[in-house]
Structure 1
Amino acid sequence: MKHFAARFALMAACGLMTATPAMAQFWQCAPFARHVSGIDLYGNANTWWSQAEGRYERGHTPQPGAVLAFEATGRMRVGHVAMVSQVVSEREVLLTHANWSRRGGVETDVRAIDVSDAGDWSRVKVWYGPTGGLGTSSYPTKGFIYAGHAPVDYAHHAGGEVAAG
């Protein structure tokens, strides 16, 4: 009986140590945005806007493949970055990003709307998985960083769970 218990414990321990499949990869927003957009910036999301100056064009008009840079706030101390996967209208886009609705998770083609008074994308609402909608929170942004080339096929290369909103 002792040998059976020891063998069972060893098998259970080995099962817990098996590698996590690539599909379960944990993503932070900045490395994921860099991966899918090709914009070669590093560091926390709240530094991307200033890092992009002189390296990438920046502006306030959404374009597919551009990265929307969110300002740091009390709830998002290091900001956030998300790639525009589709422009729906002047005030609505679909975003592909990581670490928003679920810690480390990837979301593809989630709705974001411009709620700024000036229509300049300086404040947005973003689809949030747990509530299944845009909710009441809005977030300040700095603008769009333009990649200057076609975005990566994020659904194929993300290596993470992809949820749509």
Structure 2
Amino acid sequence: MPYARNLSGIEIRGNAKDWWGKARNAFGRGNEPVVGAVMSFRATGGMPLGHVAVVSDIVTDREVIVNHANWHRNKVSLKMGVRDVSKHNDWTLVRVESHPGRYGSFYPVNGFIYPKVDE
């Protein structure tokens, strides 16, 4: 989480699974990816603490590029693709590029947490 916090400027602490709830009154949240937003993954059996990744580029309305830490244990992963495979194109279910050109399992997503914009 320190990597996502430092990269995005979103000052939330604690396990990734708690970021979505903690962001409720402090940051904007939604289902539209934007560069700099944090993608909040739900906790699952295989990922009990959840996960967070920072959007670095928008490829299409159903694919983004993210940077994140610990997708592969103790490593930072840069420029990994994430595809929206949700039934309603709302980013609630994704597949992550585990290795270049290879997309893995399905992962549920809460949505995106948006960094505060300087006024």
Q: TM-score interval w.r.t. the shorter chain?
A: over 0.9
**Separation (CA, whole Å) in 1 of partners of 2:32 and 2:51:** 18
Aligned-pair identity (%): 47
**Separation (CA, whole Å) in 1 of partners of 2:83 and 2:91:** 8
Instruction: Say whether residues 1:89 and 2:57 are aligned partners.
Output: no
How far residue 148 of structure 1 moved from its aligned partner, in angstroms, is 2.7
Gaps of 5+ in 2: none
**Separation (CA, whole Å) in 2 of partners of 1:31 and 1:132:** 27
Higher strand share: 2
List per-residue Cα deviations over 1:3-27 (Å, max 9, x = no partner): xxxxxxxxxxxxxxxxxxxxxxxxx
Gaps of 5+ in 1: 1-29, 151-165
Question: After TM superposition, which residue ranges in structure 1, 4 or more long, deviate above 6 angstroms?
Answer: none
User: TM-score by structure 1 length?
Assistant: 0.69
Instruction: Say whether residues 1:60 and 2:31 are aligned partners.
Output: yes
Larger Rg: 1
1:123 is matched with which residue?
Answer: 93
User: TM-score by structure 2 length?
Assistant: 0.95
How far residue 104 of structure 1 moved from its aligned partner, in angstroms, is 1.1
**Separation (CA, whole Å) in 1 of partners of 2:90 and 2:20:** 16
Instruction: Write out aligned runs for 1:37-48 (5 A).
Output: 37-48=8-19
1:103 is matched with which residue?
Answer: 73
**Separation (CA, whole Å) in 1 of partners of 2:74 and 2:29:** 27
